[in-house]
Structure formats: C-alpha cells, structure tokens
Chain A
Amino acid sequence: MENQLLLENISKIYGDGDTSVKVLDDVSLQVKAGEFVAVVGPSGSGKSTFLSITGALLSPTSGRIMIGGKEIHKLSPKKMNQLRLEKIGFVFQSANLIPYLTVQDQLLLISELSGMHNKNAKKRADNLLDRLGLNHRKNHYPESLSGGERQRVAIARAWMNNPDIILADEPTASLDSERGRAVVQMLADEVKLHKKAAIMVTHDKRMLDLCDRVVYIEDGRLSEKQ
C-alpha cells in the first residue's frame, strides 16, 4: 500500500553556535494509509518536536517530508497554514478547545476557516458528534464537559476537515486509564474505517496494543521494536 506519510533523514537543531542542541538526528519514518503508529520515549527526547515537524508546525533543519505524495518542507508559512487546514488533523495534549464555542461550533469553525461554512458542514459535524457519542452535548461549552468528552470533541474536530493524517500528542494524559483507552480505541477505529494515517505520542504503555506499530525515540534517534 502507498505511503501516506514519508519522513526522510529529518534533523532538527535548536539554537545556533555554542548553545545549539540537536534534538532530532537523521530520523526517518513511513506511515501507510490505515496505519496507526505510536511514538514513545523519555521526556525531552524530542517527541513533540518530531510531531510538530510532521504536522507542518515547525520546519526541520534538514530532511524531506512528504504528505500524500507532496513535499511540504519547503513551503512558505502561509502555504503550511493551508496544508494544516486541509490535510492534517491535530489532537493536542489538553484538548485545547476554544472556550467560547459550543461543541458544535468547535467543528463548524474548521469549515468556516476553509470557507465552506454550509449545510453540508453542519451535516458532517452532526454525523461526527453522533459517532463519538456527543450528540446530547452539542450546545454545551467546553467548561461544562468532562475531560474525556473534551478529548472526544478534539478528535471530532481533527476529523472535521477529512484530513489525510491525524497527529495526537499525548491525547490521554489528562484522562484515567479507562477513559484514555476508550479515546485511543476510537482513534484507532476511525483510522481503520477511513484509511487514514495516524501518529500518536504517548507515555502510557497500556495503550500500545491498540496501535499497529510502536517506534521508540531516544537521544534524537528513532528505533522500531516489535
């Protein structure tokens, strides 16, 4: 099957001169459509940096990134913005919902940003909320949701623009293991169902059995174990 996401020889150096730190050292990774990859590693090992580069939030110092067969590492910031909007769905560590939007509006915001705020968008949002069991919370603000519900809204939001890849940075960090597992299960199901590529950073070893592949990051180097 075709590679949805391709990272080749990625290096990232923060700072310059005496204070420079090499956080990623010649890292490569391929993720196929329908594949759910977990990234684990000690704190400070460069997991978030890796995810940010993959998600076009940060430019690598060197290396090549291809999403859906398109090179992205040379794009201007404006183009990267557009790419994030169209191709990438993020689930942030602490859900990071917009406090003044209702659950439904969180999803509609995505279609508003891409200039497709119409009936179809509304249908799609309803559909997603239905699937994630959030229909009865449609008109609630994030402040009145539980942690697990928020995380589910964040996942629904990541799905709203029908992205090619999903990136999640410790999506279960603020949840108990049961709820965390339910959230990751949902993520895995969605990836399988719609043939997306997904990368999840996690500290929680108990989630790893839900993923297709686990990669370990240490001292800026990637290694795969079974």
Chain B
Amino acid sequence: MFLALREMKHAKLRYVLIGFIMILLIWLVLFVSGLAKGLSSDNASSIQNMNADYLVLQQDSDHRLTRSTLSDKNLQDVREYTEEGKATPLGVQMTTITKNGDSKKSDITFFAIDINSMLAPTITEGKMLNHRAAHEVVADRSLQHEGLKLGDEIEDLASGEIFTIVGFTEGQSFSHTPVVYLNFNGWSTISHNRTPNQDVFNTIALNISANKAKQIEKNLPNINVISKDQALQGIPGYKEEQGSLMMMIAFLFVIAAFVLAAFFYVMTIQKMNQFGVLKAIGAKSTYLARTIIFQVVFITIISLLISISLTFGVSFILPDSMPFDLSAQLVIGCSFLFLAVSMIGALLSLYRVSKIDAIEAIGRAA
C-alpha cells in the first residue's frame, strides 16, 4: 500500500498515539475478559466440570440448587425414564468449618454423592471415599491454602460433626467456596436434624438428551429439569458478577469504536483537499478507501500483538490466588471482535471519502 505506509511513516506521532490508546484499550479488554473467565471458574467450577447435562430441581426453586428439596420418591420417579446409572442424587449444603482445634473459620460447600456415580470427583492426592465410612471427606485442593492437609480433621460448625480429609480433588468450587465431597452416610449425619425420617437431597444429576429432559419435565409433577447453564446462572452471585464484567467489556468495545471513529474522521477531514487532488489526478474512491482500511487494520493488528504480549506477560507475575484465566480461544475471539470494531469505526471516514469531489482540487481550493 503505497500511500498508506508512506503516510504513516511521515505522521508517526499521530499513529503512535492512536496505537497507544488502542493498546491500552485492548489490554484492558483482555484483562477483564481473563478475569471474568477466571472468576467464573473460581465461582462455579464444580458445576462447569460436572459430568452431567441436566439437573432436576423441585418446582419453583428459581434455578437454585440450594433452594430445592427432593426425596427418594422423586429419584424413583426420574429413574423410570432414564437408563441405569444416568440419574444420581446430589446434596448441596453451604456451611462453615474449622480445622479441628483451630478457631479459624472457612466457608465450604458439602456435595453429597453416591461414590460410584458419574459425579465422583477425580482424586489428585490421597484416596477416594468409600461407601460406609460416614466421616471421611474429599476436599477441593484450594483448602490446602487454608493450611489443611491429608488426615486433618474438620468440624462442621452447623452440625458439630467431625470429618477426616482422606483425599483432595481439583477444580471444584461452588459460589466461590471449595467443595467438600462426602457420601450419603455422612450427609445424613449433617442433615438429620432438619428432616428426621427421610433421606432428602437437593437435586438429581442427569446424563440424558434434551428430548428426554423435556419428557421428564412434562410427565413428572412438581419438578423442573434445568440445563447445567441454567444451574450456573442460579448460583448465588454468579449472574451479577459475570453480568457486570461483561458490561465493562462491552463498553470497552464501544469506546474503542468511537475513539477510532473520531480519530480517523478528524484525520480524513483534514485530508479532504489532498483526497480531492488524488481524485483529480485519477485515484479511484476504492483506492482511497483501501488506503484507509489498510491503515486501520495495520494499527489494530500491531496494537493487538503488543497488547496480547503485555497481557500474557502480566498474567505471569499475577499471584496464584488471583482468578485469571485467559485461553487462546478467548484471545483470538477478542482479537477478531476488535478488528471488526475498528473497521466499524472507520466506516464514517469511508463514507466521507466516497463523497469527495475531485473538483475540490482545482480553482477555489487553492
């Protein structure tokens, strides 16, 4: 691009300035995106990683696992419709624990599971729960940051029950708290006060097709079948957290579009006379338009490359406890979106260029 490159070389300062603004904007976009992704898994990785497609909830529980109560009767009913092993109960209980003999409290969420079901977590350290032992648990690795080790005992402050950590798993959080897995024997010890004579839990995890899910919801009374995504939205604070971050990202894109539009528009207006001369000596509008598009794309790509390196550079020096998760996919997605946004910003200039009259060059425009 004969004109585009020579002009940028000649007016370095201008283009460096706009490039600088774009670098900062893209950097912020990538950073907030990484933070949103990181917070999302910090908040709800247990649901995201759960080996299930649908969850059964009690009717009118507002997509919130913790508000739903189901009984064995519900489980029997659901199992009528599913294959062996594709429906399994799950108990969810948010609570506070202390390390036995210590006064420091931590918030955790108990997940009660059938240890032979698809919900069984992957063990990264120690061993898996067994069927019988009511007072053994497997905890998310993040509890290690609280100073807990294999073999340590924890006390559930709500029920006063004491459990021993026999294993650790990873990527298991619920509403920003680590998940602690126990079997249903342990579950009845912490929940028996509330429901004396009946085994109750919160939800049933299903590994079934969408059609099946609809069918179950239609045929069984008093329950809802929701997707994993809906369950995520129902985790306390999840929707609000992600929503506000997404709004920030959207605003950054809009700001970028307007900043670029304003910058290139002013530059184009300044160059009207020049464009008139170019048209008078035979340059086509499409040639001038291509020059502008080339400049926009050029600056955007350079800024993207710099911002991406900056973002990854910074992510290395971030502390481990900071939830930041930037995948290549997210970076590529953001980059393409940014390129599209900068093209939109250039539209106004392209419109002006298409309206330029060669006659500007001669006579009056001295």
Contact = CB atoms under 8 A, between A and B. Distances in A.
Size class of the A contact interface (CB-based, 8 Å): 35 or more
Interface residues of B, number: 25
A141 interface: yes
Interface stretch (A65-73, A90-98, A183-191, A214-222): A90-98
A47 B279 CA distance: 20
Contacts of A78: 284
Contact of B6 (A86, A94, A100): A100
B3 interface: yes
A82 B362 contact: no
A169 B363 CA distance: 7
Contact of B281 (A51, A52, A85, A100): A85
Given A109-B2, A112-B2, A48 B363 contact: yes
Interface string B327-366: 0000000000000000000000000000000110111101
Given A52-B359, A100-B11, A105-B6, A113 B281 contact: yes
Given A52-B363, A57-B359, A94-B366, A109 B277 contact: no
A55 B274 contact: no
Given A52-B359, A90-B362, A113-B287, A84 B280 contact: yes
A169 B362 contact: yes
B7 interface: yes
B278 interface: yes
A110 interface: yes
Interface of chain B, helix or strand or loop or mixed? helix
Contacts of B6: 100-101, 105
Contacts of B11: 100
B210 interface: no
A95 B245 CA distance: 54
Contacts of B277: 92, 96, 98
Contacts of B358: 57, 81, 84
A52 B357 CA distance: 12
Interface string B1-30: 011001101110000000000000000000
B322 interface: no
A99 interface: yes
B318 interface: no
Contacts of B284: 78, 81
A114 B280 CA distance: 13
B82 to A, nearest CB: 67
B280 A48 contact: no
Contacts of A86: 282
Contacts of B274: 98-99
A81 B361 CA distance: 14
Interface in B263-288: 273-274, 277-284, 287
A21 to B, nearest CB: 15
A52 B358 CA distance: 9
A151 B263 CA distance: 32
Contacts of A112: 2
A108 B10 CA distance: 17
A55 to B, nearest CB: 7
Nearest to B359: A57
A131 interface: no
B361 A51 contact: no
Contacts of B7: 100
A92 B358 CA distance: 12
A157 B287 CA distance: 19
A90 B358 CA distance: 12
27 contacts: A48-B362, A48-B363, A48-B364, A51-B362, A57-B280, A57-B362, A81-B279, A81-B284, A84-B280, A84-B282, A84-B358, A85-B283, A90-B280, A90-B362, A92-B362, A93-B362, A98-B3, A99-B274, A100-B6, A100-B7, A100-B10, A108-B2, A109-B3, A109-B281, A113-B281, A113-B282, A169-B362
Given A52-B363, A93-B363, 10 more contacts: A48-B362, A51-B362, A58-B359, A81-B282, A84-B282, A86-B282, A98-B3, A109-B3, A109-B281, A112-B2
